[in-house]
Amino acid sequence: MSGADTRHPGLNLGQTDAGGHDAAEEVVFGFWVFLMSDMVLFAILFATYATMSTHGQAGGPAPLDLVDLGSALAETLLLLGSSFTFGMASLALKYREGRTRLVAWLALTFVLGAVFVGWEVHDVHVWITQDDAPPQRSGFLSAHYLLTATHGLHVAAGLLWMAVIAVQIGWFGLIREVKLRLMRLALFWHMLDIVWIGIFTFVFLYGAVR
């Protein structure tokens, strides 16, 4: 089980860094398992949202009242865009396109992610001040905020992680440890996209249709 024979789900360093490829096997697999557990957490939050959004409105705002499809679309584009730029960063890592290009893609990812989080905070501000829909108002709103905020917190944590890795790229250069961390952060970042697609669909699109 060495060199390019093994293939991991996710980015494979393969031929360009055989040693790193081998070292990735255990840590990247471990991270997949962690993501699985994290996905269970989100599944629970989605299930809670599903019950609370129908049975827990308590005469307060309904899902439709919170939907601003334009805003949700902008957030979606920001986050999916950041996934694309992270993908470019991963390719820069794999094909050794140099530190500058890698860091540039990462910086772009960071900016898109940060704008996304800012946009979400703005959404929350609008919901609370204009729609009179704070989480304390009803069970539905509690579930709504917990689901979106858990995702938002994950993105924010990803941003912190990205910043730390950026410092490490400057500090250590592209050593194996840093590479492996970037690969795991990439998985984390893409998973958050998948979760967001769930939120976009069930919270916003479905909310608008209902």
Partner 1 sequence: MLGALDWQAIVFVRAWRDPSASELIGAAAGGLAVTGALAAVVLLSVFRLWRPLWSGWLTSLDHKKIGIMYIVLSLVMLLRAVIEAALMRLHQLVAVGQGGPLSPEHFAQLFSTHGTIMIFFMAMPLLTGIINYVMPLQIGARDVSFPLLNAISLALTAAGAALVMVSLVIGRFSTGGWSGYATYTELAYSMGEGVDYWIWAVTLSSLGSTLSGLNFAVTIYKKRCPGMTLFRMPLFCWTTLCTSILMIFAMAPLTAATVMLALDRYAGFHFFTNDAGGNMMNYANLFWLFGHPEVYILILPAFGVYSEVFATFSGKTLYGYRALVFATMCIAVLSFTVWLHHFFTMGQSANINAVFGIATMTIGIPTGVKVYEWLMTMVRGRIRLTTPMLFAVTFLVTFVLGGLTGILLANPTIDFSVHNSLFLVAHFHNMLIPGLLFGMIAAVQVWFPKAFGFRLHEGWGVAGFVCWVAGFYLAFMPLYALGLMGAMRRTSQWARPEYGPWLAVALLGAVLVLGGVFCLAMQLFVSIRRRKELAVPVGDPWDGRTLEWACPAPPPEWNFTVIPKVASGDAFTVMKREGRAYEMPDDIEDIEMPANSAVAPVICVASVATGFAVTWHIWWLAVLGLAAGWGAVIARSFVLDTKRRIPAATLRASHAAWLDRLRRTVPVSRAGETDPRNDGLAEHGA
Note the residues at the interface with partner 1 (CB under 8 A): 25-27, 29-30, 33-34, 36-38, 40-41, 44-45, 48, 51-52, 55-58, 60, 135-143, 145-146, 164, 168, 171-172, 175, 177, 181
Distances (CA, A) of 107 to 49, 73, 121: 34, 22, 21
Read off the amino acid at residue 29. Answer: F
Task: Residue 2: name the closest of 182, 152, 20, 210 by CA.
Answer: 20
Contact criterion met (CB below 8 Å) for 10 and 86: no
Least distance (Å) between residue 50 CB and partner 1:
11
Least distance (Å) between residue 27 CB and partner 1:
8
Gap between the Cα atoms of 149 and 143, Å rounded: 10
Cα of 156 vs its chain's centroid, Å? 9
Give the residue with the Cβ less far from partner 1, 78 or 199.
Answer: 199
- For 56, the token pair is 């827990």
Give the residue with the Cβ less far from partner 1, 28 or 78.
Answer: 28
Gap between the Cα atoms of 59 and 62, Å rounded: 8
Give the residue with the Cβ less far from partner 1, 92 or 165.
Answer: 165
Least distance (Å) between residue 45 CB and partner 1:
7
User: Residue 205 has what DSSP assignment?
Assistant: I
Give the residue with the Cβ less far from partner 1, 21 or 137.
Answer: 137
Task: Residue 90: name the closest of 181, 167, 172 by CA.
Answer: 181
CA quadruple 191, 10, 13, 161: dihedral, nearest 10? 10
Least distance (Å) between residue 60 CB and partner 1:
7
Give the residue with the Cβ less far from partner 1, 39 or 114.
Answer: 39
Give the residue with the Cβ less far from partner 1, 62 or 107.
Answer: 62
Least distance (Å) between residue 33 CB and partner 1:
5
Least distance (Å) between residue 66 CB and partner 1:
15
